[in-house]
Chain A
């Protein structure tokens, strides 16, 4: 009897192990099948040289306003306030052209938020200029579009003014063919750098330091 019990126990354990192995194998195959059905492709960075042509095959980016005065503008922000570039005279300003449909912009925005906090005491301001379409002929549609931009800015936690470009401000800035496009304006209102597309955080910070520093030196030279 005892021998029979041992054999029965061994058979039960063996069957249990077989069942467990079968279930584990089934789960593994299911996971592999699910991965194969939904492949996730990682898009690679096209080029590290910001002046190189992007995959869009546009001509290499050349700052259209290098060492020129930044074109003046007055736009409304998401709170309805009028914001002019002239309001920031004596400060370094980052002008970030972006849109709610632009994924690379959403990578850059958190960096701008942190850098703004870091350098605000030294005289930095960031202005986000939304290039989302605005239907100026349809008030109802316009209100919805502005609300969508405002909601998107809130979701992204943007801590600097976000402006609606209902006056084609992008035109005097070279047309802004791709987003994000960022201009760095020094304390004297001169454009000292510009980048197109997603660039390295360190490059953004270096341009901010340049904008803060170059205008400061120029102002000291004038006084």
Chain B
């Protein structure tokens, strides 16, 4: 076992079966180091999102253990566990009846922060994701573009200053230009924040660009862990199709000019 001080999240022999007894995850062993950004890469149905949801107990494993900060998630109070972990998803899931301010402030309010601290924190995280407070705080989600909604979703996940951040294809539904913009900003943000991030994606380029390490998943099992450079060099049969797809994309791009 790895030393717990350097480990933020650990999966020990985890299996997850649906009520219909279908295995979505089987025998998963995985370590997420403190402060790293780990990309869960795989096709649709490979178990990436299920893995993510086992961390904040939106799903409960059928077998094995998931440890967060050295403690099994079943020993955590589930509400405390979730408030300890930021969560950002593809459709952002903003509350349509709340302003940007109220969306971002919700968890700090539930945690009974005082009003001054909440106001300062909302201002700070909105600034962090590139949305000036004075311009955006009073808007409703339907008055924002898709990219702006994702930024608010990220700000909301960061609001209570969690040490762990779970991101489920947060840029997946955006147009390519906005996506590139947000990916770039996320890279910058990652350096300043030093959070542990688990990031689900099916986009190879995104995984290579944003990740410290890439966990390749297929049919509910882990196929390997790679640093981005290792991933590109790998001759592994499971890795090849991804690398080929990535290079094909680059070639089209290079022959275009």
B is bound to A: no
User: Which A residues contact B (CB, under 8 angstroms)?
Assistant: none
